[in-house]
Every structure is written in structure tokens, then in C-alpha cells.
Amino acid sequence: MAHDALRTILPVAGIAAERARNVEITGGADPVLPTPFRIGETSAAALAATGLAVADLWELRTGRKQDVAVDLRQATASLRSGHYLKMEKSEVSHERNPVMGMYPAKNGRWSYIHANFPNHRAAALKVLGVPEEKAAVRAAVAKWDALELEEAIIAAGGAGGMVRSMDEWAKHPQAAAIASLPLFEIVRIGDAPAEKLPDGDRPLSGIRVLDLTRVLAGPTCARTLAEHGADVLKITGAHLPNIGYQEFDTGHGKLSAHLDLRQPKDLETLKGLVREADVFSQGYRPGTLGNRGLSPEELIKLRPGLVYVSLCAFSHVGPWASRRGFDTVVQNVSGITTRQGELFPGAEPGPQFYPVSAIDYLTGYLMAFGAMAALARRAREGGSWLVRISLAQTGRWLVGRGQVPEAELKDVPKEFTAAELARWSMVSDTPVGRLTHLRPTVQLSETPPRWARPSVPLGYNEPAWPARP
């Protein structure tokens, strides 16, 4: 089944589906954790795709092929890698804000309030007219029509949505818009001469990646590129909210610098970095960065041959194209939490999240695959390239892989064995202490993935590229 899923990914990048046979996938099949959704086969497939892209780049460099292998269970664990972080000197909190969650609304409907970031939490609380207390939020949501509350929170600058069934989502105009798109796109958006890969002894040696993404999906993309030798520089603003433990989960292999893009001087610094970059990865809503001259069209003028990776929540088409969203929002509006709650009820009745952040991490792996496929095209034929994907497109692919039969979902373990987690883990020395975390999943015979740098706190480094090898 994982090979079948891989065959749906490769042709999107112009790679023959038969290449799926070149990957060894072990570790059994779904269900791996308590969910009907095929998180095992999709994670193994997405990671296998990155392995094939790495092998392709290595062959471009050296003329040598290498073997690619993925363990399906280890791949599934990677979909909640933040869950397995352990910091030597301090406790790593994985708790979501207590206000975040699904609440009963009028007429038997449910509403999801996204509240992890303070600005989104404040928007929802302002609409509801209550303090930051779960009981007060519950009482207030109960008085609202779920669809009206969805629109009010979005209009106020928040995030969330009415919980729908899969059938309801299938009839929604945004679902129809997403159905018109492939899983992701790799589009040539400009002419540029072919570029040989920079010198180095790893598949992505000398490749420079600017990571302007946040939360999980986009940062996972850049982390994946780093594990194959890319120099990744994460850029964020000191004024922007963040969830601390996620940065240590997705920060392996990266440098991290602060720039305030509202300031002309810092914006010019960023554009200077772009001129020497190979990949620019951003996760803002369509049109947002265009206001600062950072659209694909503008940046390929600065740097012909750039691979511009663009992530958003609901794609660049349809009535929700400009809407904020996260993995949890997509789960709720598209029927995933409804189905999960039907089969695996929680402590409280109603919709439930699946036990991993599947859409986030899968999207990150697919972004990395797309970026590497575009770099290979640049090396062979030249050009500037746009890789475009959304969380909702990934969610559609995940759901489209079908569900595990209910009869097979009895007594599914909630956790991996201690021996498995020990085998899949490693320790890094970071500036804030020793960090235990999952190691890279993909197995490559000639260039085993590794991170050359440990995770660092946000803003730890200067906004400058390290020297190429």
C-alpha cells in the first residue's frame, strides 16, 4: 500500500511511477496508531519520495546510484516527532493552550477554536466576549450558530471553523476548488541558465535554503533539506509568536536569525540573502509577502534560478484561498475529526484529533521532495521554479488513500515500544542543553542523512550565509 501511495506522488514531479519499486519499505502496514486514516503508508510514501529525490541529486553529482529504504513504523513516529523531545535541563511542554478545542454550538453542531497563538486566541475571545477560561468559552460557543461563529472569528483575524462531516466538506466550494488541483505543483516561472550543483560531499552540499515558515509543515521541509547537507537559515521576527518546543523539533540542522521585515533595513538584508540563495520557502497566505516585494515574480528577478516553495492552508484557488488555517483547522472543517471521534471517542464526546500531526509533517516532506525535484530540473535544464502546496491538498490526499477497515482497528496500541523509540532516537548537544530526539527516518546506502548543526533558539545566529565548502 505504501508503494501505491508513492506512485501517486512521483508523477506530480515528472518522475516515473515505476521508480517506486526502487525503494524498500518495511515495518508492516496500517493501522500503526489508533486512527482509521492511513498515516503509516502516507508517511512512508512521502519520506520515500524524498529519498528518491536525494538519490537523484547524488547521481547528478557523482554518477552513482544508491539504495533507499524506509521503515513504515519509524515514518509514522516522525509525524509526531515533537512528542518525543526530551531536554536534559528542562521539561519540554507539549501542552496546547487550554482554550483550544472543539465546543458544542447550537443545533447539535460543533465549533473549533484555534488558540495556540495569542493573536488568534485574542480574536476568538473578543468575538465570544469572554475571558480566557475554558468554561466561559464553552458557555459562549453554545449560544452561537457554528457557521456564523466560523465567519465571525475569521473576520476578526482568528482561526478555527465549523466542524463538518466528510460528506459536507465534499460539497463545499473550497473542497471543489482543491479537487481541481494536483497534490502539489512544480511550475517553471522564469528562464535561467542551468546550474551545476555546488561542490561538496553530500547530496545538497552548498545548497542554501531560506526558511521563512512557521509552526510545523514548512519548518519540516527545511529540516528535511538540512539532513541531506543543505545550509538552512531560518528567518523569523522577534515580535512573532512561536511555540517553543516546536522550534527544537523542526530546528535540527538550521541556523536561525531574527529580521523584522516591517523595517526597510531588515527587508533589504533579507533580499541580499535571497540573491545568494537556492531555495526560498515561505508559509504565508497568498499575496501576503507580495506586499513586501517577496513574491515569486519579484524574487526571481533578484535571483534567477531560485526555487520558490510556497505553502498555505487552503490553496491559491477557491473562496478560502486567503483564509488562515492549520493542520487542526483542516482536520475539523474537512471531516477528519468527525470520523476520528466516531471510531475513537475521547474523554469528552464529539470530534477528536488523530494521534499525530499528519497533514503538517506530510506537507513538509512533500515540500522538500518538490524543492529537490526542482533543484534537479534546474541542474538539468535551468529555469526558476515555483513549488506550490497547501495543507488542504495534503489532507485530501491522506483521506483519499481510504480508511483502515473498522474490524482491524480493535486494540491498536497508542504508543510505540520503548525499544523502537530508543532505536529511532539520538542525542544532540544544543546551546540550551542535551536534547534527545528522533533521528532522520530515510535510509540511504551512500549518504546517510544527518544534521550537521544542532537546534538553536530562535534568533541565535546572525543573518548571514556560512561559507560554501
Give the per-residue pLDDT at 206. 97
Cβ 451 vs Cβ 250: under 8 Å: no
The dihedral over CA atoms of 8, 11, 12, 13, expressed in degrees to the nearest 10, equals 130
Q: What is the pLDDT of residues 213-233, one digit of tens each?
A: 988 999 999 999 999 999 999
Q: In the chain, pLDDT over 70 holds for what percent of residues?
A: 97
* Nearest-angstrom CA–CA distance, 307 and 378: 9
Written as nine digits, the cell of 413 is 496500541
Residue of 82 and 97 predicted with greater confidence: 82
Q: With 90 as the cut, is the pLDDT of residue 468 above it?
A: no
Give the per-residue pLDDT at 3. 96
Q: With 80 as the cut, is the pLDDT of residue 409 above it?
A: yes
Residue of 237 and 378 predicted with greater confidence: 378
Q: What is the pLDDT of residues 430-447, one digit of tens each?
A: 998 999 999 999 999 999
Give the per-residue pLDDT at 244. 67
Q: What is the pLDDT of residues 308-336, one digit of tens each?
A: 999 999 999 999 998 988 999 999 999 99
Single-letter code of the amino acid located at 201: D
Give the per-residue pLDDT at 91. 62
Q: With 90 as the cut, is the pLDDT of residue 238 above it?
A: no
Query: For every residue of 192-214, which 3-state class applies, written as one string?
Result: CCCCCCCCCCCCCCCCEEEEECC
Q: For residue 133, what are the CA distances in angstroms to 98, 113, 119, 125, 386?
A: 8, 13, 16, 9, 43
Q: What is the pLDDT of residues 250-295, one digit of tens each?
A: 999 999 999 999 999 999 999 999 999 999 999 887 777 767 889 9
Residue of 99 and 36 predicted with greater confidence: 36
**Arithmetic mean of pLDDT over the chain:** 94
Q: What is the pLDDT of residues 13-46, one digit of tens each?
A: 999 999 999 999 999 999 999 999 999 999 999 9
Single-letter code of the amino acid located at 21: R
Give the per-residue pLDDT at 90. 65
Cβ 236 vs Cβ 214: under 8 Å: yes
Q: What is the pLDDT of residues 114-167, one digit of tens each?
A: 988 888 899 999 999 999 999 999 999 999 999 999 999 999 999 999 999 999
Query: For every residue of the chain, which 3-state class applies, written as one string?
Result: CHHHHHHHHHHHHCCCHHHHHHEEEECCCCCCCCCCECHHHHHHHHHHHHHHHHHHHHHHHHCCCCCEEEEHHHHHHHHHHHHHCEECCCCCCCCCCCCCEEEECHHHCEEEECCCCHHHHHHHHHHHCCCCCHHHHHHHHCCCCHHHHHHHHHHCCCCEEECCCHHHHHCCHHHHHHHCCCCCEEEEEECCCCCCCCCCCCCCCCCEEEEECCCCHHHHHHHHHHCCCCEEEEEECCCCCCCHHHHHHHCCCEEEEECCCCCHHHHHHHHHHHHCCCEEEECCCCCCHHHHCCCHHHHHHHCCCCEEEEEECCCCCCCCCCCCCCHHHHHHHCCHHHHHHHHCCCCCCCCCCCCCCHHHHHHHHHHHHHHHHHHHHHHHHCCEEEEEEEHHHHHHHHHHCCECCHHHCCCCCCCCCHHHHHHHEEEEEECCEEEEEECCCCEECCCCCCCCCCCCCCCCCCCCCCCCC
* Nearest-angstrom CA–CA distance, 117 and 100: 10
pLDDT band at 95 (very low <50, low <70, confident <90, very high): low
* Nearest-angstrom CA–CA distance, 365 and 146: 33
pTM of the model: 0.96
Phi-psi region of 411 (alpha: psi -120 to 50; beta: other; left: phi over 0): left
Name every residue whose Cβ is closer than 8 Å to that of residue 250 and which is 6 or more positions away in sequence. Answer: 82, 216, 219, 220, 222, 223
Give the per-residue pLDDT at 116. 80
Give the per-residue pLDDT at 92. 64
